[in-house]
Structures are given as C-alpha cells and as structure tokens.
Amino acid sequence: MAEDELDGLLAEQIAYYRARANEYDATYPLDVHADAAARAELLTTLDGLAPFGRTLEFACGTGQWTAELARHATTLTAVDAAPEALAICRRRVGAAHVDLVEADLFSWRPRERYDFVFFSAWLSHVPPQRFDAFWALVSDCLTPDGRVFVIDELPAVAAVERPAAEQPAPAVHRDVTGGRVFRAVKVLYSPDELRARLEALGWQTEIRTVGWRFFSASLRRDQREL
C-alpha cells in the first residue's frame, strides 16, 4: 500500500507540471527576471565545465537550461514526463542535435552512455525511498569519465513552502492558475547531508551555495568504486 501511495504522489507531481507548463517560465524562481543574479552565477559555473560532449538532461521542462546546454553539447538528449512542457522546449530549442524524449524518469532507462548529465530542480522531487536507485540510474547513464552537474534548492526554501502532511514522502502543496492544487515531492538537502549521502554511494562531490536559495553540485564517479 505504501508503494501505491508513493506512485500516486509521483503521478500527481507529473500532473502538476503538465498543468503548470504554460505558466512555468513566468513563475520559476530561476527565470531571468525572478533571480537573475543567481541564474548568472550558476550559468557561469555551468559554462566553465564546457564542452560537454554527449549530454543528457533529466526533467528538462520548458527548456530554460536545455537552451544553455545545447550551446556546448555535441548531442543533447532531454527527458521529461510532461508533453506540454516538451512542446514549449521544442519551440525554444529546435536544434538538430537536440533530441527530446517523453518519459517518466522513474521507469526510463538509457540506450547509451553520456559524457555529461545535468538536472535542475529535479533532485528535490526524488523521494528518499528512491534516492539510491535514482543515483544508480545516473551512474548507468555515464561514461567512465563522465560528469554530473546538479542545481537545486537549499533547506531555507522550506520557509516559503506549504508542506503537505502525512504523505508517503516529504511533499508540498502547489497551486496553478484556475485554483487547482497538487502535491509534489520536495526533499531539501543541506550541502553536508547531500555530500555524505552521495559519497556513501561512491560519488566525488563538490557543492557550492548560491545565495540563500540555491546550490550547485559537480560530481564524478569515484574511480575506486568502478
């Protein structure tokens, strides 16, 4: 029953992003208007890792970061479960070397390995019960020397969230225009906690905080674990 409840929560999370797709760019806190300074700092860090080679993006959404990745990627595969968001991403990033894939990341599996894996605002949507399995997927996506770059939010964000009580994983309530309310998983890690968990799974991790809200993490597989 607990797993069924978790699956239901994750299905509602997808439904939320489908419903929100057309307003996402105006409401996401890292858009060019809401927190331009934080975005600029994160983009500078990301650009410093270029060139990316064969690149994979999880939860690409409307393509805010897909467009940036495409500038430095040899090929780019971007995966998202919301077709409405992918349609916007396709209009934003219509390059021939970019392949958009509609899939649920909790069941999707790679057909090849990538030099660079990126995801923004996705790790916090991974339930704690699936943390290890998710990072096993990330590892399966990488070439032996591949790199991972993650952007997400810090625990201070909890002060501006609306927690949803008695859920199968930490979750919050999220509204969309028209008054509909959805649940979404929201797990906020401190840098020290996240580093410890990832190192226990065999990842070499460097984490930087950006303002009060965001962090970025650069990761490689620990070669001793391979």
Please list, residue by residue across 76-99, b when 16 or more beta carbons sit within 10 angstroms of its beta carbon and e when fewer do.
Answer: bbbbbbbebbbbbbeeebeeeebe
Cα of first residue to Cα of last residue in the chain, in angstroms, is 36
C-alpha 129, offset from chain centre: 17
- Return the DSSP state at 163: B
Per-residue model confidence (pLDDT) at position 94: 87
Residues of the chain with pLDDT under 70: 1, 29-34, 223-226
Q: Can you give the pLDDT at residue 211?
A: 92
The confidence score (pLDDT) of residue 32 equals 46
164 part of a folded domain: yes
Which two three-digit tokens encode residue 87?
Answer: 């349609």
- The whole-number pLDDT of residue 226 equals 52
| 226 within domain boundaries | no
Whole-model pTM: value is 0.95
Structural domains of the chain, count: 1
CATH code of the domain covering residue 164: 3.40.50.150
Residue 193 included in any domain? yes
Asked whether residue 225 is assigned to any structural domain, the reply reads no
**Angstrom distance (rounded) from CA 159 to CA 76:** 35
Quote the domain boundaries for residue 182.
Answer: 2-220
Residue 26 confidence (pLDDT): 82
